[in-house]
């Protein structure tokens, strides 16, 4: 059975900017926000602070919060892309992530070859790759373009290819950073139906979105992130309603 347990997760990183000029502007207010000076006098951002969470089988968790709240950072910790500075992240189950679709695509090879390469990056077995390649190619709707190098593709065509690959895995845990919004309306409907099928096949789903309608459509729980902290976690409608009420009075 799939599960996710986060214990006292803390993640910080230095700002990659002109430290001297920025420090002069912000040093007086560092203690009142998510920034602080480290032992090397660098300005660092506390992206996640003291995060303690448990997700279990059947959880469909919507991540909500304003820009910079820590939603995408949390997803990347769950995906193993970011390693926390401290704390423990225990995950049981096979993960599929739709966080940076298109990463790993090679411009100088065909769409069909990219499907096979993408499946390899998802750690599929050779049998899984053989079983899924043709269906992924058909889903993209690229027709004969699937046999052309993708440096000839438009952005919409690349998105279709990347989305088809990213959603081909049968995961225990599904991580999504915003539902696809690129492409024509026909493809968007296909994409939404495919995500719905993927969600049903997964044990746990964690979805970050700025659309509360999307959260209500796919989720049964909600996690409200605020300045890198967990502000509320529980039944979806209760948490989303609290969040909407605060935004209304902001």
14 vs 57 pLDDT, higher one: 57
What is the tens place of the pLDDT at every residue in 39-73? 566 677 889 999 999 999 999 999 999 988 999 99
Residue 98 to residue 157: CA distance in whole angstroms: 17
Reading phi first (left if > 0) and then psi (alpha if -120 to 50, else beta), residue 72 is in alpha
Which residues are 5's β-sheet partners? Answer: 54, 90
pLDDT confidence of 178, banded at 50, 70, 90? confident
- The segment with the largest mean pLDDT, out of 7-16, 31-40, 172-181, 205-214, is 205-214
What is the end-to-end Cα distance of the chain in Å, rounded?
41
* Coil vs helix vs strand at 181: coil
Give the mean pLDDT of the chain: 86
- Is the model's pLDDT at 210 over the cut of 50? yes
Q: Residue 31: its pLDDT value, please?
A: 46
Q: What pLDDT does residue 28 have?
A: 47
Question: How many helices and strands (H and E) does the chain possess?
Answer: 8, 10
80-84, 119-123, 146-150, 231-235, range with the lowest pLDDT = 119-123
C-beta of residue 151 within 8 angstroms of C-beta of residue 108: yes
Domains and CATH numbers, the chain: 3-93+208-249 (3.40.50.300), 100-172+183-196 (3.40.50.300)
- d(CA 8, CA 82) in angstroms, rounded, equals 15
Strand order in the sheet with 60-64: 95-98, 173-177, 204-208, 60-64, 221-226, 229-235
Nearest C-alpha neighbor of 140 from the set 110, 170, 107, 103: 110
Residue 245, classed as helix, strand or coil, is helix
User: Which residue, 193, 173, 15, is CA-closest to 80?
Assistant: 173
For 2-55, the three-class secondary structure string (H helix, E strand, C coil) is CEEEEEEEEEEEECCCCHHHHHHHHHHHHHHCCEEECCCCCEEEEEEEEEEEEE
Residue 30, pLDDT score: 47
More confident residue, 75 or 98: 75
């Amino acid at each position: 059975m799939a599960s996710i347990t986060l214990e006292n997760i803390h993640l910080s990183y230095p700002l990659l900017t002109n430290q001297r000029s920025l420090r002069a502007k912000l040093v007086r207010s560092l203690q009142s926000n998510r920034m602080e000076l480290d032992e090397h006098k660098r300005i660092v951002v506390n992206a996640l602070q003291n995060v303690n969470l448990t997700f279990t089988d059947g959880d469909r968790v919507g991540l909500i919060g304003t820009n910079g709240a820590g939603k995408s950072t949390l997803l990347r910790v769950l995906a193993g892309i970011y390693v926390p500075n401290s704390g423990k992240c225990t995950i049981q189950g096979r993960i599929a992530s739709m966080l940076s679709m298109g990463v790993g695509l090679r411009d100088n090879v065909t769409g069909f070859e990219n499907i096979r390469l993408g499946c390899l990056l998802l750690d599929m077995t050779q049998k899984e790759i053989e079983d899924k390649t043709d269906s992924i190619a058909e889903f993209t709707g690229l027709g004969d373009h699937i046999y052309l190098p993708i440096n000839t593709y438009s952005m919409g065509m690349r998105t279709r290819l990347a989305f088809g690959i990213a959603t081909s895995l049968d995961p225990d845990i599904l991580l999504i950073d915003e539902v696809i919004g690129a492409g024509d309306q026909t493809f968007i409907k296909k994409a939404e139906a495919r995500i719905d099928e993927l969600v049903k096949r997964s044990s746990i789903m964690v979805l970050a979105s700025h659309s509360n309608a999307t959260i209500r459509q796919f989720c049964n729980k909600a996690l409200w992130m605020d300045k890198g902290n967990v502000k509320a976690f529980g039944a979806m409608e209760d948490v989303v309603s609290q969040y909407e009420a605060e935004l209304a009075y902001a």
